[in-house]
Amino acid sequence: MNPWSVVLFSATLLVAPSALCGEGNCTKLDDSSRPDCPSAIAFLNKLQTVLRNDDRNTVASLVRYPLLTSLHAKKVRIADRAQLLTHYEEIFDAGIRCSVLNATAKDLWGNWQGFTTGNGAVWFDGVIPATEKVNTNATDYWTKHPFKIVTVNNGSVTIPCKSK
């Protein structure tokens, strides 16, 4: 595993619970809000719909590979759709599904790492192709790249859950 992946994964786990307490920054806009909050809210709604319908193939299409997650209490990278579908129940476990399904737009929080709901269970962001030069000043920078799930913190975050 790439050493930077471990750092990012660990930083996500450390930053998310402490920094994300309370209301997110997509409905209560402030200087930390990202311009692509409306697209992030739409992505969250889509993810909730496909999880609610147990549409595993569509969930798999919403992932950027390799996906950073954990299996059997070890950090791993899920290489592709087939591997994700094989381990779907472990990756999108009951805590992750409950966390995402119970999230609201008010819980959505974005920073330089991407977007997540209040407890850091799932992180997603616009995925820029490796061949494209990043230009944050381009007028379409915040809207032209589709959102994809980049990290699932299954089993790593205590997720209080209530049924809806």
Tell me if 102 is assigned to some domain.
Answer: yes
Dihedral sign for Cα 155, 158, 162, 164, please.
Answer: negative
Tell me if 78 is assigned to some domain.
Answer: yes
Closest CA to 101 of 64, 23, 46, 38: 46
Query: How confident is the model over 76-86, as pLDDT tens digits?
Result: 999 999 999 99
Six-digit token pair at 144?
Answer: 């032209």
Residue written as token pair 């975050």: 157
Tell me if 159 is assigned to some domain.
Answer: no
The pLDDT tens digits along the chain (164 residues) read 444 444 444 444 444 443 445 678 887 777 877 888 889 999 999 999 999 999 999 999 999 999 999 998 899 999 999 999 999 999 999 999 999 999 999 999 888 889 998 678 999 999 888 888 888 788 887 777 899 999 999 875 555 566 55
Query: How confident is the model over 153-164, as pLDDT tens digits?
Result: 987 555 556 655
Tell me if 113 is assigned to some domain.
Answer: yes
Tell me if 23 is assigned to some domain.
Answer: yes
Tell me if 157 is assigned to some domain.
Answer: no
Tell me if 68 is assigned to some domain.
Answer: yes
Q: Which domain holds residue 39?
A: 3-129+139-152
Contact between 150 and 127 under an 8 Å Cβ cutoff? The reply is yes
∠ CA 67-142-39, rounded to 5°: 70
Tell me if 41 is assigned to some domain.
Answer: yes
Contact between 48 and 132 under an 8 Å Cβ cutoff? The reply is no
What is the total count of domains within the chain? 1
